[in-house]
Structure formats: C-alpha cells, structure tokens
Amino acid sequence: MNNYLIVGPCAAESREQVLTTARQITAIQSEIINDKSQILIFRSGSWKPRTSPDTFKGVGEQGLEWLMEVKRETGLPVATEAATPEHVKAALQAGIDYLWIGARTSANPIAVEAISQELIANSQKPKAVLIKNPANPDARLWLGNIARIEATGVPVMAVHRGCAHRPCWDIAYAVRQARPDIPMLLDPSHMTGKREAVLPKLDYVEQLGLDGAMIEVHYCPEQALSDAKQQITPAELLSVSRIPSPRTDKPSTLSWYRAMIDEVDEDIWTQIEKRMHLAQQIGDWKKQQHMTPLQPERFEAILSQRIEWAKKHCIETDTVQSVMNALHQEALRHQQ
C-alpha cells in the first residue's frame, strides 16, 4: 500500500503565499520523501468552513488556480477541500487531483450525499476523495460517508483528525477494524491545534501502522489567516526524523489500546487542571469572605458521595479515598 504525505497551508491566502510555501516544500522534497511508495501531495483550502462569520472564509475559486500553478511548476499532485457539489465541479474543472471532505461537512450526511451525486455526474474524476472523521466522534457516520463516496467508484481514504482537539482514537480504531482495506491518514494539525504538539503526534502514524499524514504547513504561520496556531514551517517539517515511513508490520491491537490509554491519561490531567483552577477560584472567594481554606465537613461529605459514585463504576473505596485525598491536598496547595 502507498504512504501519503499531504502538506501545505490551511488556506490559500494569496498567490505568493501558496507558491512560496510550495517552493519551500519542494526544496526539501528529497529529504522528506525517501521511498518510491511515498506520495507527496500539496494541499490548501479555497473555501474555509469557519466558526464565526466575520473570519477569513477563503478566496474561493481563485485558490484553485494557484494550486494548479503549483502543480505545473513543481509536478506535485494537489488537493483541496470540497464542501458542496459546486466546489467539486470547480475543483475538477480546474484539474485538482485529490479532494477532501472536511470534518464539518462529514458531520452532515445530506451534504456528503450531494457531493457523491456530483462525483457520479461529473465526467472528470479525482484520483481519490479523502474523508475526514465527522466533527462529532461518530464512527458509524464516518463509515457511512466512506460508503457514500465509495458508491461513486472514486477511491476513498480516511483522514483521522480527532474531535475538539482530542485524539478520539476509539473511532479511528473502529473504522480501521471495519475497513482495514482503506488507507487511513493522521491529521495531527487539527487533532492538536497547537504547533508544538503536531510533530510529536506523528509518532502514532508508525505506532498504529497508519498510511501517512496530512499536515498544515505555511511559510509564515504567524501571518496565517486561518489556523495560525497549528501550522508549522517547511523547516520544522524537515527538522524531525518522524516523517511517516511506509508501514511494514500489521499493527497490533495493543498499539491501539496504548494510544487510547494515552488519551485517557491526558484527559485525566486536563480534568485535574480544571479542578485545580476551580479550587483556586473557590480559595479566592473564601479569602474575600474571611473563611479558612479547609472546610472538613465539606470534604467528608464529598468523599462519601464520591465513594458511592465510584461503586457504580466498580472502583474500590480504598482507591477513591487515596485519589480524593491526593486531589484535596493538591487543591489546598492551589488555594494557598
């Protein structure tokens, strides 16, 4: 099976930005691609599905022209996002090689159905359609979308980008189990939303035996008009030796379980941090009211309640006591 590395900016912003980024990537191409089975693809979005209406929405069809200029100049195949049948039509007309369906579109089966109708009707076909996981963690909907696009006869690939900056490995595992025949890529950029977290996440491509990665790369991320915090530079892409290499072994279920454990532990620390922040706010409030930080009756009350809650989850009372005592000590430190 091939291995894919899809890189380029979140959005096409200007001709200069698209071409400069593409030129910097092609300059390091031989260093990041070292095997014939690896396919390098240049990406950028022309229509951006944004949260707020007053943020950059993309440049529209003009962005396709800049992508085609990249293709002519560098010889790299190019990819863009399609969220409507009109986007599919325009991208195919322009000569774009690969389309991807974004997480927000993937959450809407009617939109995916409309895209599939256009793929059937259009005489031009993309090399493949990449389907991101839905913005909500729903493995069955993701599989449903794979089936919707597959029905058009166009090859499909899955892109796992997690949900709300959490990995949600469970849905990737479910889709991998159900459809091991479909390439699955990792998108560490949207998965983490943080530049410094992007490259370390790439380790999972190898650990889980995935088929490559889609990474947002911008020649000057600080100036990016969308997803500025998560884009890396071509130099950063080069600076690590973690560029996905083609998989050799079948990954074990154990690797997936370990990824899921990593995620649960990360969640636990996030929740503890949240709890400590609340404890601090409570501490400030108590100070204003001239109350002492320690209220023993409140601690006793929550401890017995938590023991009851934990019983429903088959967790031993001893464990609850140790965890709650440790949390309480830490909270008191935060309050002082």
Choose one: 15-23, 64-72, 102-110, 242-250; the region binding ligand PEP (CB under 6 A): 102-110
In the complex, the smallest distance separating the C-beta of residue 103 from ligand PEP, rounded to whole angstroms, is: 4
Establish if 213 lies at the interface with ligand PEP (CB under 6 A): no
What ranges in 151-295 are assigned the alpha helix state H? 169-178, 188-192, 195-201, 203-207, 234-238, 253-288
Reduced to 3 DSSP states, what percent helix, strand and coil does the chain have, rounded to the nearest 5? 50, 15, 35
Out of Mn ion, ligand PEP, none, which partner does residue 92 contact, by CB within 5 to 8 A per kind?
Answer: none
Q: In the structure encoding, which two tokens stand for residue 51, read together?
A: 């949260």
In the complex, the smallest distance separating the C-beta of residue 158 from ligand PEP, rounded to whole angstroms, is: 12
Question: Of the two residues 55 and 281, which places its CB atom closer to Mn ion in the complex?
Answer: 55
Choose one: 22-30, 96-104, 272-280, 294-302; the region binding ligand PEP (CB under 6 A): 96-104
Residue in the block written with tokens 């322009």: 94
Out of Mn ion, ligand PEP, none, which partner does residue 23 contact, by CB within 5 to 8 A per kind?
Answer: none
Establish if 195 lies at the interface with ligand PEP (CB under 6 A): no
Burial label for 8, CB within 10 Å (0-12, 13-18, 19+), is buried
x/- track of binding to ligand PEP for residues 159-188 (CB under 6 A): --x---------------------------
Q: Which of 5, 6, 7, 10 binds Mn ion (CB under 5 A)?
A: 10
Instruction: Using alpha carbons, select from 36, 172, 175, 84 the residue that is nearest to residue 188.
Output: 172
Instruction: Using alpha carbons, select from 214, 234, 227 the residue that is nearest to residue 74.
Output: 234
- Return the sign of the alpha-carbon dihedral for residues 228, 57, 214, 193: positive
Choose one: 100-108, 198-206, 288-296, 313-321; the region binding ligand PEP (CB under 6 A): 100-108
One-letter amino acid at 71 equals K
Out of Mn ion, ligand PEP, none, which partner does residue 258 contact, by CB within 5 to 8 A per kind?
Answer: none
Spatial contact of 10 and 218, defined as CB atoms under 8 Å apart: yes
Residue 136 CA to residue 180 CA, distance in Å, equals: 22
Task: Point out which residues bind ligand PEP (CB under 6 A).
Answer: 10, 45, 49, 102-104, 132, 161, 190
Task: Point out which residues bind Mn ion (CB under 5 A).
Answer: 10, 227
